[in-house]
Amino acid sequence: MSKLRVVHYINNFFAGIGGEEKADIKPEKRVGVVGPGIALQKSLGEEAEIVATVICGDSYFGENIEEASNVLLEMIKEERPDLFIAGPAFNAGRYGVACGSICKKVEEELNIPVVTGMYVENPGADMFKIDLYIVSTKNSAADLRKSIPKMASIGIKLAKGEEVGPPEVEGYIQRGIRINYFHELRGSERAVEMLVRKMNKQNYITEYPMPEFDRVDPAKAIADISKVKVALVTSGGIVPIDNPDRIESSSATKYGIYDLTGMDSMSKDDFTTIHGGYDRAYVLENPNLVVPLDVLRELEKEGVIGELANYFVTTTGTGTSVGNAKSFGEDFAKKLVADGVKAVILTST
């Protein structure tokens, strides 16, 4: 019996090409295994062979999703694979979105099984968990040794047409798909058993987990904004022309704080947008459309607001994980409080 043919997708970092400075590389294909493909091939064993590895830079994919996907699809199609595996991406947001995007395209257009792996808070996981089998990983590559065998196991089962078990057994992120089956105990008995375990503070697993909503209590209304200091914060990707902190165009892992001292307007000669999720044409001509410094300076002069902070905080919102966004806010909020800021105008796109 011939081996299953597998094509593996990885990014610039895992291909050993380079880090952020090489994130703009275009799609390319190499024969056989590359980087984490060595561990993946070992887990696939004698049943399957990685015949090719396709590679793309995270930034390039994020900024050219349709073009990159089409080029990669042709590269993959040429290999006549029985299975496509992407990643794992762990908590790398842009990588996760790329893995999910190309997996979905391969599944839909080549009609072959696909599998990938991500940390549960990766934005790609939330975007594609209903469409794909996504193995649940830890948030860093230190989990490679544990996550790769799970991806290989699910991939082989899918390629051979075998049944894939429930997420708690196979290790993939819940897809929201409920399957009917016969249980040895009727519902009332299972409910009582679960209640007893809960009352005795023993471990139990609900059959219908409720969604978790992270709620934030609103702050008290400001009685007189003409007496307070206001700051500008944006997820619209406005940065100095040279993007000194190298904030990513999507799935940001960092934010920046930039000086506004003596400025009455955001000049296109000094500021630009690196956001990869909207048409930037108008903002490139007038950054005030996202960071409204011109209007706020007028309000400051008119006494409508007490004072405008002499800096703004910025990052990119598209694809950025909830975990990263939360940590950004917790971090820069300390500076805002220390500087006496009492209100924030948060702009998006």
Return the residue matching tokens 């860093």. 140
Judgement on whether residues 21 and 111 belong to the same structural domain of the protein: yes
Cα torsion 156, 161, 167, 168: sign = negative
Judgement on whether residues 63 and 157 belong to the same structural domain of the protein: yes
| 8 Å CB contact between 342 and 265 | no
The pLDDT value given to residue 168: 85
Judgement on whether residues 8 and 157 belong to the same structural domain of the protein: yes
Residue 267 lies in a domain: yes
Domain count, the chain: 2
pLDDT band at 65 (very low <50, low <70, confident <90, very high): confident
Percent of the chain past pLDDT 70, that is, above it, reads 100
Q: How far is CA 244 from the centre of its chain?
A: 23
Mean pLDDT score, 83-110: 93
For residue 348, pLDDT over 70 is answered with: yes
Judgement on whether residues 38 and 154 belong to the same structural domain of the protein: yes
Judgement on whether residues 147 and 11 belong to the same structural domain of the protein: yes
Mean pLDDT score, 73-101: 93
The pLDDT value given to residue 290: 95
d(CA 135, CA 215): 28
The pLDDT value given to residue 114: 97
32-36, 84-88, 180-184, 185-189: the lowest-pLDDT one: 180-184
Residue 185 lies in a domain: no
Cα angle, residue 168 at apex, residues 188 and 135 outer, rounded to 5°: 150
d(CA 255, CA 106): 33
Residue 191 lies in a domain: no
1-10, 94-103, 170-179: the lowest-pLDDT one: 170-179
Residue 187 lies in a domain: no
The pLDDT value given to residue 51: 96
Residue 209 lies in a domain: no
| 8 Å CB contact between 277 and 252 | no
The pLDDT value given to residue 79: 95
Judgement on whether residues 88 and 23 belong to the same structural domain of the protein: yes
The pLDDT value given to residue 182: 82
The pLDDT value given to residue 265: 95
Judgement on whether residues 147 and 262 belong to the same structural domain of the protein: no
Residue 296 lies in a domain: yes
Cα angle, residue 134 at apex, residues 132 and 140 outer, rounded to 5°: 150
For residue 12, pLDDT over 70 is answered with: yes
**Residues in Cβ contact with 340 at an 8 Å cutoff, skipping those fewer than 6 apart:** 229
Stated pTM of the model: 0.68
Read off φ and ψ for residue 5, nearest 5 degrees. Answer: -90, 125
Judgement on whether residues 131 and 247 belong to the same structural domain of the protein: no
Mean pLDDT score, 186-194: 91
The pLDDT value given to residue 1: 61
Judgement on whether residues 160 and 32 belong to the same structural domain of the protein: yes
| 8 Å CB contact between 41 and 49 | yes
Judgement on whether residues 40 and 104 belong to the same structural domain of the protein: yes
d(CA 72, CA 62): 14
**Residue 86 forms beta bridges with which residues?**
9, 116
SS (H, E, C) the chain: CCCEEEEEEEECCCCCCCCHHHCCCCCEEEECCCCCHHHHHHHHHHHEEEEEEEEECHHHHHHCHHHHHHHHHHHHHHCCCCEEEECCCCCCHHHHHHHHHHHHHHHHHHCCCEEEEEECCCHHHHHHCCCCEEEEECCCHHHHHHHHHHHHHHHHHHHCCCCCCCHHHHCECCCCCCCCCCCCCCHHHHHHHHHHHHHCCCCCCCCCCCCCCCCCCCCCCCCCHHHCEEEEEECECEEECCCCCCCCCCCCCCCEEEECCCCCCCCCCCEEECCCCCCCHHHHHCHHHCCCHHHHHHHHHHCCCCEEEEEEEECECCCCCHHHHHHHHHHHHHHHHHCCEEEEEEECC
pLDDT band at 310 (very low <50, low <70, confident <90, very high): very high
pLDDT band at 210 (very low <50, low <70, confident <90, very high): confident
- CATH number of the domain bearing residue 73: 3.40.50.2300
The most distant pair of C-alpha atoms in the chain lies apart, rounded to whole Å, by 81
Residues in the chain: 349
Q: Tell me the per-residue pLDDT of 138-162, one tens digit each, with 9 for 90 and over.
A: 988 889 999 999 999 999 999 999 9
Residue 308 lies in a domain: yes
Domain that holds residue 122: 4-170
Mean pLDDT score, 247-264: 90
| 8 Å CB contact between 308 and 266 | no
Judgement on whether residues 150 and 291 belong to the same structural domain of the protein: no
Judgement on whether residues 235 and 298 belong to the same structural domain of the protein: yes
